[in-house]
Amino acid sequence: MPLRTLTAGESHGPVVLTILEGMPAGLPLAPEDINPDLARRQGLGPAGKPHPGASPRMKLEHDTAELLSGVMAGQTIGAPIAVQVRNLDHTKWQGRAVAPMTIPRPGHADLTGALKYGYDDLRQSLERASARETTARVAAGAIARKLLAEFGIRVGSYVTEIGGVEADLSAFPLTERLDAALRSEMNCPSPEGTEAMRARVEAIIRARDTLGGVFEVVALGLPPGLGSHVHYDRRLTGRLAGALLSIHAMKGVEIGSAFANARLPGTQVHDEIIRDDAGSLTRRTNRAGGLEGGITTGQPLVLRVAMKPISTTLNPLASVDLATGAPAATDYERSDFCAVPRAGVVGEAMVCLVLADALLEKLGGDSLVELKPRFAALRRASLDDVPQLGQPRVWWP
């Protein structure tokens, strides 16, 4: 695994930090490559304001990347890249005594974290468990995205469903979904879907509740041959699903049309192999979502992700006050009512990191200059070449 990412930082501490180790030298990189993704993660849509349902915190922060290391004269040098994003909200917490938090929220890491680490204040759990940490992931993901773009690989996302309101995207080809989602404040390609989702979120805010939903992350332009079937931890399928499920509140990942496939006979599921007019191997369908045997097929990678509703709710849930042992209702602290449109951006970041890792694994090389011709060779040797089959052999004498 050539690319490694570490994040650090608490939600209301001074900064969130990322260290990305293993990026090759020679990649042009500036904060401007990272800041647009940070703004999208804040839910700052086309109108430049957070979508309804985004935490009020998003109005307070102006997430901006500071490149602290690994870049000289605007290019990566192959050394670890450190990125810092300041928490502007920190000034309100600095030097202030804060009452202990003793009532855990169901669904959050409050209780599990406190039991595991022996905290005497649930704030020690929530500060690091907060989705504020995803700022650091998006910063790292933006750098991985820059690398992938050098090879013509595009990663994007769109929301398909919020709180049971589903957008009909059947008329939208994948590229159009990615383009149109960028113009939608809800990160949804269809204008009708955007409106319906917005209305659903506005209603849930009035109902003092929260909503989850479903988004898809798509990668276009991938070469065949990333990942491997030879060992479980090299299969891209598991690496992608694991990376997506590591995001706060993500509870399900589907690859291609996996759940529909599970209800059908094999002859109606598997993407039949054909040769196109130019003689290249291709498929008419992509129910596998771009992966076979844990390896990219060269078709679009399509990953669906289910997000649970945010666990901080204005209407309280039943809990127990750990200070007294008595039943207690949860308290409310500022949070998102629905973070699904923002979550897609984090999903993209995680997919970019896994794909960049798999690409570097495939290509090797320390600099972009070394990687480029290797990628070109990989493309040439892709599905265009039908393997020459050998003679019968005794495999196990």
Tell me which of 275, 334, 364, 386 binds ligand EPS, using CB under 6 A: 334
How many whole angstroms separate alpha carbon 269 and alpha carbon 260? Answer: 9
How many whole angstroms separate alpha carbon 352 and alpha carbon 153? Answer: 10
- Does 128 bind ligand EPS (CB under 6 A)? Our answer is no
Min. distance of Cβ 61 from ligand EPS in angstroms? 7
Using the minimum distance from each CB to ligand EPS, give the nearer residue, 165 or 339. 339
Q: In angstroms, how far is CA 276 from the centroid of its own chain?
A: 33
First to last CA, the chain: 35
For residues 52 and 188, is the Cβ–Cβ distance under 8 A? no
- Does 183 bind ligand EPS (CB under 6 A)? Our answer is no
- Does 330 bind ligand EPS (CB under 6 A)? Our answer is no
Chain residues 226-285 in contact with ligand EPS, contact rule CB under 6 A? none
Q: What is the DSSP string of 303-348?
A: EEEEEPPPS--SS--EEE-TTT--EEEPP--S--SB-HHHHHHHHH
Using the minimum distance from each CB to ligand EPS, give the nearer residue, 147 or 249. 249
Chain residues 38-77 in contact with ligand EPS, contact rule CB under 6 A? 55, 57
Using the minimum distance from each CB to ligand EPS, give the nearer residue, 134 or 194. 134
- Does 336 bind ligand EPS (CB under 6 A)? Our answer is yes
Q: What is the DSSP string of 63-84?
A: --EEEEESEETTEEESSPEEEE
How many whole angstroms separate alpha carbon 112 and alpha carbon 107? Answer: 10
Going by the DSSP 8-state scheme, the letter that residue 256 receives in this structure is T
How many whole angstroms separate alpha carbon 374 and alpha carbon 382? Answer: 12
Min. distance of Cβ 110 from ligand EPS in angstroms? 10
Using the minimum distance from each CB to ligand EPS, give the nearer residue, 39 or 167. 39
- Does 127 bind ligand EPS (CB under 6 A)? Our answer is no
Tell me which of 5, 9, 10, 11 binds ligand EPS, using CB under 6 A: 11
- Does 313 bind ligand EPS (CB under 6 A)? Our answer is no
Instruction: For tokens 């109902």, name the residue.
Output: 207
Tell me which of 131, 201, 354, 383 binds ligand EPS, using CB under 6 A: 131
Instruction: For tokens 């086309």, name the residue.
Output: 46
Min. distance of Cβ 396 from ligand EPS in angstroms? 55
- Does 124 bind ligand EPS (CB under 6 A)? Our answer is no
User: Which of these ranges, 132-140, 170-178, 215-223, 278-286, lies near ligand EPS under the rule CB under 6 A?
Assistant: 132-140
Min. distance of Cβ 265 from ligand EPS in angstroms? 42
Beta-strand ranges (E) seen in the chain are 4-8, 15-21, 25-28, 65-69, 71-72, 75-77, 81-86, 154-162, 165-166, 213-220, 250-255, 273-275, 281-283, 291-292, 295-296, 301-307, 318-320, 327-329
Tell me which of 310, 338, 349, 360 binds ligand EPS, using CB under 6 A: 310
Using the minimum distance from each CB to ligand EPS, give the nearer residue, 219 or 307. 307
Mapping DSSP to helix (H, G, I), strand (E, B) and coil, where does residue 279 land?
coil
Using the minimum distance from each CB to ligand EPS, give the nearer residue, 60 or 376. 60
Beta bridge partners of 83: 18, 67
What residues make contact with ligand EPS under the rule CB under 6 A? 11, 55, 57, 89, 130-132, 134-135, 310, 312, 334-336, 339
